[in-house]
Amino acid sequence: MINWNNLDTLTSFKELSEVERVNLAEVMSGENGAERVKDYSVSMTEDLTYNYAAKAVDDKVLAALAKLAKEAQLTEKYAALYNGEVINTGEKRLVLHQLTRGQLGDKVEADGVDKREFYVKQQQRIADFANKVHAGEITNAAGEKFTTVVQIGIGGSDLGPRAMYLALENWAKKNGTFKMEAKFISNVDPDDAAAVLNSIDVAHSIFVLVSKSGTTLETLTNESFVKDALKNAGLDASKHMIAVTSETSPLAKSDDYLAAFFMDDYIGGRYSSTSAVGGAVLSLAFGPEVFAQFLAGAAKVDEVSKNEDLLKNPAMLDAMIGVYERNVLGYPATAVLPYSQALSRFPAHLQQLDMESNGKSVNRFGEPVDYPTGPVIFGEPGTNGQHSFYQLLHQGTNIIPLQFIGFKNSQIGTDVVIQDSTSQQKLCANVAAQIVAFACGKSDENRNKNFEGGRPSSIIIGKELTPETLGALLAHFENKVMFQGFVWNVNSFDQEGVQLGKVLAKRVLAHETDGALKVYSDLLDI
Amino acid sequence: MINWNNLDTLTSFKELSEVERVNLAEVMSGENGAERVKDYSVSMTEDLTYNYAAKAVDDKVLAALAKLAKEAQLTEKYAALYNGEVINTGEKRLVLHQLTRGQLGDKVEADGVDKREFYVKQQQRIADFANKVHAGEITNAAGEKFTTVVQIGIGGSDLGPRAMYLALENWAKKNGTFKMEAKFISNVDPDDAAAVLNSIDVAHSIFVLVSKSGTTLETLTNESFVKDALKNAGLDASKHMIAVTSETSPLAKSDDYLAAFFMDDYIGGRYSSTSAVGGAVLSLAFGPEVFAQFLAGAAKVDEVSKNEDLLKNPAMLDAMIGVYERNVLGYPATAVLPYSQALSRFPAHLQQLDMESNGKSVNRFGEPVDYPTGPVIFGEPGTNGQHSFYQLLHQGTNIIPLQFIGFKNSQIGTDVVIQDSTSQQKLCANVAAQIVAFACGKSDENRNKNFEGGRPSSIIIGKELTPETLGALLAHFENKVMFQGFVWNVNSFDQEGVQLGKVLAKRVLAHETDGALKVYSDLLDI
């Protein structure tokens, strides 16, 4: 039987807060530090390792975290989720994004169908469609091949798929699986759509309209924008557009689209990269086989996330250390720092994933909680960030926990040797150096050059960023966020906080405003 | 006489913390709210307004802030800075970035020259060079025009210029001043340079190598990367490269470059967008006239920032409200939210500007401070962010102050009417709605749909994002950060926090490691 309790009612949370604090600079020094780096490491997949040696934990803290994870019933709650219980209680929905990449438990039936079969069928339909586009069997009206795919979507229909596309673009070009360039239109700012449309050859472009409900303001507006452009170019818009939506949406059976592929209410936008939302654009860009590898990587991590042993479950461990940092040590934010230019927009995706899931002040039952929940998430790729905001991370007045990601090999493989090392070696040397600099610091009589250390980080190390490792990375963070939501007893799968702004914006556009809102509207010439 | 005192020693700071808190949701309601929006507004330039009605301040708080600004001698310290005193005490340097765009006070002489003349001369040299490139008087070896400019630089040599380029790219295309496409190579990750080089026609590209010292690891490595590519294409690298550096650097008089343009030690990287660092790439991309307009906008704000009256000095007011939020109300972060796709990377620039300047724990004299200094800065353009991390901003357990930016008109001007409004109107309606939603909230019996409000924001409103308004925006934030540094009594112009990582990375590359650092190096195959 599952109990949904607030974190501060759990006895093991009280015990955790009483465990002696770890002096990170001390435990990371000398040979003891070397042993920690070897020991505090756990496999995510055969190609990825989560290393938490530079986190302010020791065996006592880890034991307390394991006890808390058990009391919070994280494994049972995950099982309830993938076995199809109504975990998104606010919206009374199942939460099935893991089912898009594997069958983790019982068969899940909803709306009268086997949901695993439903998602697999959509993937197959997308694969068939993409293969036909690549083979020139589906073409524009002039019988010419499409060369560009443009995703029209916002939020989860944009950030995840865009980050994944950028992560694999160079890999695909290098490995001969690059099929079509992808572009993305998201913002209602008309300059977004106009700039993308100015940069492409619309006659050879296929547009993917992504909206679960079929009613997202930005997306429908940008669809019209695109249809105007197609019409102005003398083209039939319905021959250039596909839809990704729910079966019940107005887009599902419209003649306006070449085809429609389906997702459903059981997959939140920010969890939709492995559904048809990511599937259509990524399969068109890189081929369905690459998308299948991406799903296989995610499935592996979903499997590992079932492990009841905290020390063998990287996503759960990452989650629990984050809870310790947030609720015991009191840190306000987390920085995500991939040492990989290909992951340039991965932090922006995680920002949505984490902050929209766990940026909540009430528990699953709508009661206010008395402890901090989701932190601010931000980040940029290294080494760029080192020359930007790392100053504050090293010497600022707040401690910000860090999440590094690094790969032994580059994707393209072109490199140059300067001062006896390649660029890739320099990149890796920098991330290794940063971990130790943050943890251990360095004392200096000149206080301005003094580093206190004690700034915690973890690192995920991989061989290379491939479709499979990318899928694994994505699932790791999805599952981390899910476990943290369980610990905080919040519903990580709704987003009521975005509603009020929508309501007020409509009122402005209808000129039904008064007070401050009316004056702002006037100032902005609306 | 100027006194450099810690914030917590100032009597007016104690007074400020005792002023009664403002109930933002209350004061922003009804007709009182409408009056506030009209009153709490100050001009930055004829085209830009800073509106702080939705900040948790009232006339009493503002009076206390004015008193604090006076006791902290902000106006005098700014004057000392632009009149050439050694404000960057750690590195014993003048701080002269404002001088790149205007003469604010006394003539400043250093290194035996009039520095204003020096910066103007560099701008003129760049303008001449750019005009010759555009006219086809400076060409590649085959006598063909250059079509692409590629900036090679990192940190301040990348983030600012890149953000400015993206901000003006569509404006320039629309207004007929677009001369050359610009690309940027920054990361030591070899995939960054390789991907950019694969995307351009190197035979028609001119590269701008930017490094003040001429010794930045990433930049020199990427220079070699580019030189290899040019050589492999059978081209003479020295005919394709210019340098932006200091006169004393090894790059200054090298035959490896077509030309060298100069900056100096008195301009920090993060403050260098208006110097030759931004000047070369932006003048080549958009023409020198556009760059001159950009400087003119910045100069206007620098002038307004001299005003001793806090309520007539938007940068100082923004700074002081930020100090109130950080040191009295205790908020840990600030989000920058431009409702303009063109400003997509402006938050990343401000992240460096702010966090690298004020992410310090010691005062100007190297003594630890007992109060929070610079906050975490992050942001994405609206409306995209609304569908991402706004959930936490509206309903999370921390209050995060917000900095909105909005423009009445789009840059390109192509638009579409859906449901009786243009996209630009929808964009503006959304930002107006968000301000009121954050400030006033909305009570609901369902606590999950309840918005407490009381979440403070300000907005900078402009007519359109032009070179001049962009320059003004840039200078506003530079001056805000400067004033906050004065209040916190930190040196905002050094960055000792980035040194330790560099030292350790060199040690890793030389294989001179032990302990944890050695094991991390092994794990990363270095």
Confidence of residue A195 (pLDDT cuts 50, 70, 90): very high
Residue B450 to residue B438: CA distance in whole angstroms: 12
b/e map B446-460, b = 16+ CB within 10 Å: ebbbbbebbbbbbbb
Please say if the pLDDT value at position A314 is more than 90. Answer: yes
CB B515 within 8 A of CB A29: yes
Map out the domains of chain A as residue ranges.
7-71+307-411+433-494, 97-294, 495-526
Q: How far is CA A129 from the centre of its chain?
A: 26
Task: Please name the residue that has the structure tokens 């992560």.
Answer: A167
* Residue B117 among the catalytic residues: no
CB A488 within 8 A of CB A7: yes
What percentage of residues in chain B have a pLDDT greater than 70? 100
Beta strand segments in A160-236, E = 181-185, 205-210
A187/B427 Cβ within 8 A: yes
What percentage of residues in chain A have a pLDDT greater than 70? 100
Residue B216: predicted pLDDT:
86
Of residues B218, B223, B356, B380, which has the active-site annotation?
Answer: B356
pLDDT in tens, B468-512: 999 999 999 999 999 999 999 999 999 999 999 999 999 999 999
Confidence of residue A217 (pLDDT cuts 50, 70, 90): confident
- How far is it between the farthest Cα atoms of chain A? 74
Residue A343: predicted pLDDT:
98
> For B417, which residue in chain A has the nearest alpha carbon?
A221
Cross-strand pairs, A113:
A110
Between the CA of residue A260 and those of A475, B240, B273, what are the distances in Å? 26, 49, 47
Please say if the pLDDT value at position A98 is more than 90. Answer: yes
Q: What is the dihedral of CA B47, B406, B426, A502, to 10 degrees?
A: -150
Closest partner CB to B194 (pick from A412, A436, A451): A412
Confidence of residue B217 (pLDDT cuts 50, 70, 90): confident
Q: A321: which 2 tokens?
A: 């250390």
Sort B216 into a burial class: Cβ within 10 Å, 0-12 / 13-18 / 19+.
Answer: buried
Helices A288-304 and A159-174: angle between axes, nearest 10 degrees:
120
Residue B309, Cβ neighbours under 10 Å: how many? Answer: 12
ipTM attached to this prediction: 0.97
Q: What is the dihedral of CA B308, B312, B316, B318, to 10 degrees?
A: 160
pLDDT in tens, B75-98: 999 999 999 999 999 899 999 999
A352/B504 Cβ within 8 A: no
Residue B15: predicted pLDDT:
98
Confidence of residue B63 (pLDDT cuts 50, 70, 90): very high
Residue B423: predicted pLDDT:
97
Please say if the pLDDT value at position A213 is more than 90. Answer: no
pLDDT in tens, A380-437: 999 999 999 999 999 999 999 999 999 999 999 999 999 999 999 999 999 999 999 9
Q: What is the mean pLDDT of residues A26-37?
A: 97
Q: A336: which 2 tokens?
A: 């995500």
Helices (H), B201-275: 217-232
> For B52, which residue in chain A has the nearest alpha carbon?
A520
- Find all residues with CB under 8 Å of A197, minimum gap 6, and list them: A225, A226, A229
Residues of B in contact with A26 (CB under 8 A): none
Q: What is the mean pLDDT of residues A43-58?
A: 98
Classify residue B73 by its DSSP letter: T
3 state SS of B505: helix
Residue B215: predicted pLDDT:
87
Dihedral sign computed on CA atoms, order A428, A432, A435, A437 = negative
> For B362, which residue in chain A has the nearest alpha carbon?
A448
Phi/psi of residue A98, each to 5°? -60, -25
CB A260 within 8 A of CB A242: yes
Size of chain A, expressed as the number of residues it contains: 526
Residue B162 C-alpha, separation from nearest chain A C-alpha, in angstroms: 13
Phi/psi of residue A480, each to 5°? -60, -50
Q: Which residues of A are catalytic?
A: 356, 387, 502
Closest partner CB to A505 (pick from B37, B159, B430): B430
Please say if the pLDDT value at position B415 is more than 90. Answer: yes
CATH topology of domain A7-71+307-411+433-494: Rossmann fold (3.40.50)
- Find all residues with CB under 8 Å of B439, minimum gap 6, and list them: A516, B24, B25, B28, B54, B453, B454, B455, B456, B457
Size of chain B, expressed as the number of residues it contains: 526
* Residue B356 among the catalytic residues: yes
Phi/psi of residue B482, each to 5°? -60, -50
CB B206 within 8 A of CB B149: yes
> For B436, which residue in chain A has the nearest alpha carbon?
A517
Q: How many CB pairs below 8 Å do chains A and B form together?
A: 502
B189/A368 Cβ within 8 A: no
Closest partner CB to A386 (pick from B228, B396, B498): B498
The whole-chain average pLDDT of chain B stands at: 97
Classify residue A375 by its DSSP letter: P
B395/A359 Cβ within 8 A: yes
- Find all residues with CB under 8 Å of A98, minimum gap 6, and list them: A81, A82, A104, A302, A475
Residue B80, Cβ neighbours under 10 Å: how many? Answer: 17
Task: Please name the residue that has the structure tokens 């900078």.
Answer: B460
Confidence of residue A264 (pLDDT cuts 50, 70, 90): very high
Classify residue A53 by its DSSP letter: T
Which residue type is seen at B225?
Answer: F
Residue B65: predicted pLDDT:
98
Residue A480: predicted pLDDT:
98
Helices (H), B103-158: 115-134
Residue A216: predicted pLDDT:
86
Phi/psi of residue B14, each to 5°? -60, -45
Sort A503 into a burial class: Cβ within 10 Å, 0-12 / 13-18 / 19+.
Answer: exposed
Residue B114 C-alpha, separation from nearest chain A C-alpha, in angstroms: 30
Nearest alpha carbon to residue B98 among B247, B289, B306, B282: B306
Please say if the pLDDT value at position A215 is more than 90. Answer: no
CB A191 within 8 A of CB A160: no
Q: Which CATH superfamily is domain A97-294 in?
A: Glucose-6-phosphate isomerase like protein; domain 1 (3.40.50.10490)
CB B500 within 8 A of CB A451: yes
A383/B516 Cβ within 8 A: no
Q: B507: which 2 tokens?
A: 């040690």
Closest partner CB to A396 (pick from B373, B390, B416): B373
Q: What is the mean pLDDT of residues A225-241?
A: 96
Please say if the pLDDT value at position A101 is more than 90. Answer: yes
> For B497, which residue in chain A has the nearest alpha carbon?
A391
3 state SS of B108: coil
Cα first-last separation, chain B: 54
Closest partner CB to A395 (pick from B222, B419, B497): B497
Kindly indicate whether the domain formed by B97-295 is annotated with CATH number 3.40.50.10490: yes
Q: Which CATH superfamily is domain B22-62+312-410+422-485 in?
A: Glucose-6-phosphate isomerase like protein; domain 1 (3.40.50.10490)
* Domains A7-71+307-411+433-494 and A97-294 agree in fold: yes
Cα first-last separation, chain A: 54
Residue B202 to residue B233: CA distance in whole angstroms: 8
Residue A485: predicted pLDDT:
98
Helices B30-39 and A515-523: angle between axes, nearest 10 degrees:
30
Interface test with A, best of B387, B496, B507 (most A CBs within 10 A): B387
Sort A506 into a burial class: Cβ within 10 Å, 0-12 / 13-18 / 19+.
Answer: middle
pLDDT in tens, A425-454: 999 999 999 999 999 999 999 999 999 999
B192/A441 Cβ within 8 A: no
Residue B264: predicted pLDDT:
96
B519/A436 Cβ within 8 A: no
